[in-house]
Amino acid sequence: MNHFEFREGELHCEDVPLSRIAEAVGTPVYVYSSATLERHFLVLAEAMARAGLKGEEGGPVLIAYAVKANPNLSVLATLARLGAGADTVSEGEIRRALAAGVPATRIVFSGVGKQAGEIAFALDAGISEINVESEPEMRLVSQVAQRVGRPARIAFRVNPDVVAGGHAKISTGGAEDKFGVSFSEAERLYAEAGSDPWLEPMGLTCHIGSQISALAPMEAAFRRMRELVERLRARGLSVRRLDLGGGLGVPYFNQPEPPSPADYAAMVARVTDGLGIGLAFEPGRLIAANAGVLLAQVLHIHERPEGRRFVVLDAAMNDLIRPAMYDAYHDLRPVHPRTGALSAFDVVGPVCETSDTFTRDRDLPPLEAGDLVAFMSAGAYGASMASEYNSRLLVPEVLVRGSNWALVRPRPTYEDMLSREAMPPWLD
Ligand SMILES: *Cc1c(COP(=O)(O)O)cnc(C)c1O
């Protein structure tokens, strides 16, 4: 469920008509709903509590929102107030999470290529867990921990060799993928880390892919993770946390219906029954995707004599790259739908690439130049992947709460864009 609805013929975000934001800020612009962000977090947290899932020391599970899905500070702060943690993949994301009020004790640091400086920063900040993805990385974390004089709480990211995810580019849990260590490596490294005074191995983690629409591959992966916990414990090693990653799919319009948070939580409860371990999760898309839209304006309707019809928008692949990169489907809704029969359009942006095509042959109601349209389900991996390709200004972001709204990332000016660069002395 989300808070983007038609009222009196116009698409609203909560109580704010989208045309009001377009008038004030211009287009393209991302618009996020606070109520939807909160609802998605709370539905998940409640489903987990109801299924009896526990965090460390019997407290609530750690829901570490995957910052990369939507790192806007106001989005992070909205979730932090509900008790969310943060799953981060860079020093920049750790800094964002801290700046938005996420306590360090709820921050997890993932990623296959953490650098020494980033690890030192994470240890100084006192974050909850560093997810170690390889043997050389384990050695680096130990060296850095010794240098800063703080032992590192680590979890090993295990690659469960289960392929899942909505697209090959977002599947991460196969043996061919770059992420994590194998089960046998995990067992060896965990024991080794246990005898390193600068490492405190406290758990295991896995993340097998994104936009996963079936429970079975997750359940298979989680069962294998449980077996590993049991093998490590049988060797006398302490395993206190099992971080099961993110990846649960969201109901994108006209895509297979993903499992509900309740069914997901029940599955996790089944798999971890009696294990007595603190659980953590790293959802990104599930929280943010349907909490945002990309609002754009129709520039032209361009009809080819041979029949193809193009809707040219002022939004482009640099603002929303998911269709070009992952063949992603985004529902497209006119903000003030005109009456009339549906007909097929190709929807494109102004960037000089054929891949700057949001969709082909999409049946849409009548559209005219000047109409506003909204790409739905654009709150995750939308603004966070936006660029200034073609020297188009970075897309701004707005957060709505009830009848209030605020510009939470303004559109830069052209002066801002140019002032980030410098001429070498020989050209100055
Ligand atoms: C991207 C990522 C997530 C979040 O994935 P979603 O599909 O958005 O839930 C969680 N954990 C890790 C390690 C990731 O890389």
Q: Which pLDDT tens digit goes with each residue over 9-20?
A: 999 999 999 999
pLDDT reported for residue 210? 86
Please provide the average confidence, as pLDDT, over all residues in the chain: 95
Query: What 8-state DSSP symbol labels residue 177?
Result: S
| Among candidate residues 77, 54, 66, 76, the one with its CA nearest the CA of residue 111 | 66
**What is the length of the chain?**
428
| Among candidate residues 230, 221, 232, 233, the one with its CA nearest the CA of residue 268 | 221
- Give the tokens for residue 91: 């020093």
Which residues are CB-contacts of 352 (< 8 A; sequence separation ≥ 6)?
Answer: 390
The amino acid present at 248, given as its one-letter code, is L
pLDDT reported for residue 39? 97
pLDDT of residue 177 exceeding 90, the answer is no
Predicted TM-score (pTM) of the model is: 0.95
Q: Which residue has the tokens 């079975």?
A: 216
- Domains identified in the chain and CATH numbers: 4-31+289-419 (2.40.37.10), 34-288 (3.20.20.10)
pLDDT reported for residue 170? 64
Q: Can you tell me the mean pLDDT for 173-202?
A: 90
Taking the centre of ligand 1 as the mean of its atom positions, its distance from the CA of residue 171, in whole angstroms, is 10
Q: Which residue has the tokens 């500070």?
A: 73
* Atom nearest to 210 CA in ligand 1: 7
- Residue 68 · residue 89 · CB < 8 Å: yes
337: left (phi over 0), alpha (psi -120 to 50) or beta: beta
Q: What is the pLDDT of residues 392-417, one digit of tens each?
A: 999 999 999 999 999 999 999 999 99
* Atom nearest to 212 CA in ligand 1: 7
| For ligand 1, mutation pick of 63, 110, 131 (most atoms within 8 Å of CB) | 110
- Give the tokens for residue 10: 């116009």
CA angle 8, 12, 14 (to 5 degrees): 120
Ligand 1 binding site (Cβ under 6 Å of any ligand atom): 66, 68-69, 87, 110, 207, 210, 245-247, 282-286, 380
Q: Which residues are catalytic?
A: 352
Q: What is the pLDDT of residues 47-89, one digit of tens each?
A: 999 999 999 989 999 999 999 999 999 999 999 999 999 999 9
pLDDT reported for residue 165? 62
Query: Following CA atoms 339, 340, 342, 345 in sequence, which dihedral angle do they give, to the nearest 10 degrees?
Result: -90
Q: What is the pLDDT of residues 137-171, one digit of tens each?
A: 999 999 999 999 999 999 999 998 876 666 666 66
Query: In angstroms, rounded to a whole number, what is the distance separating the alpha carbons of residues 166 and 179?
Result: 17
pLDDT reported for residue 164? 67
Query: In angstroms, rounded to a whole number, what is the distance separating the alpha carbons of residues 116 and 132?
Result: 13
pLDDT of residue 339 exceeding 90, the answer is yes
